[in-house]
Structure 1
């Protein structure tokens, strides 16, 4: 992420133990993310 870029922060939907950051472009293009604690993968 770069300064002044729109981003969102949320807890892992599966375990709630990890904070996940998603930049605007990642959300826009539905790029996958993975939780480092439980290996949950999201869109």
Structure 2
């Protein structure tokens, strides 16, 4: 589960950070990573 969550969403968390996080913290980090990925993709498309 750790590898899937961190690799798929590019969180860059250590295993201890992942397992210590609450579900709310994990979900917020995933949403932030997805928003950042969308912004990067939009910037590339405009270039």
Using the size of structure 1 for normalisation, the TM-score is 0.30
Greater helix content = 2
TM-score (norm 2): 0.30
Q: Which has the larger radius of gyration?
A: 2
> Which structure carries more strand by proportion?
1
